[in-house]
């Protein structure tokens, strides 16, 4: 179906998703370990919210999520972009750490997010595969689709990256995460 949504719809939807993620992250922290938070935020909010947006607005999921084979030239860009992105990403990380150094307490708290004794077979899907898939559907699927019809490719990429960074809350991580969001 050829239904279209404008930036206002998708930005409002993502603002609501951001509020839900913020509230669940701050209020469920004592009740859930990182596994519970990943399931709630990533599966329920990102994946569920994205699929609900697609359904509510009568969008074609295949179009919104760009489920098609990429042009062969895209693979050249990917293979050249990975090393370049890594080098520039390290530079952005160092610059942001200089401007906004993370206090040792923040780093220590981050290191304690994963409870002791969690098996690797749970960590890999919950901390890398599941967030990767669900965040791609939300940010490079629904959000990108809603913005790209109104903005240039550059502006759309920058907006999606900034929103992606803002969803990671910590001022110590926003710049690096936003940069990663622009690259993706």
Half-sphere exposure of 76 (CA within 13 A, CB side): 3
If you search the block for the tokens 């509230």, which residue do you land on? 23
169 CA to centre of own chain = 11
SS3 57: coil
What is d(CA 173, CA 93) in angstroms, rounded to the nearest whole number? 8
Beta strands per DSSP E along the chain:
none
Instruction: Supply the pLDDT for residue 28.
Output: 66
What are 3-42's pLDDT values in tens digits?
678 889 999 999 999 999 888 877 765 566 777 788 888 8
Q: Cα–Cα distance between 121 and 167 in angstroms, integer?
A: 26
Q: Which parts of the chain register pLDDT below 70?
A: 1-3, 28-32, 110-114
CA pair distance 132, 26, nearest whole angstrom: 22
């Amino acid at each position: 179906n050829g239904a279209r949504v404008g930036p206002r719809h998708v930005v409002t939807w993502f603002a609501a998703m951001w509020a839900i993620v913020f509230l669940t992250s701050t209020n469920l922290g004592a009740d859930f370990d990182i596994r519970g938070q990943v399931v709630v935020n990533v599966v329920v909010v990102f994946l569920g919210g994205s699929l609900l947006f697609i359904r509510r607005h009568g969008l074609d999921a295949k179009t919104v999520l760009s489920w098609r084979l990429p042009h062969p030239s895209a693979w050249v860009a990917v293979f050249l972009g990975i090393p370049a992105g890594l080098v520039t990403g390290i530079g952005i990380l160092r610059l942001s750490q200089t401007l906004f150094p993370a206090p040792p307490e923040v780093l220590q708290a981050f290191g304690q997010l994963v409870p002791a004794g969690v098996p690797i077979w749970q960590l890999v899907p919950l901390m890398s595969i599941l967030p990767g898939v669900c965040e791609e559907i939300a940010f490079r699927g629904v959000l990108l689709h809603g913005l790209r019809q109104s903005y240039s490719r550059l502006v759309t990429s920058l907006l999606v990256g900034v929103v992606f960074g803002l969803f990671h809350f910590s001022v110590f991580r926003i710049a690096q995460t936003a940069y990663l969001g622009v690259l993706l």
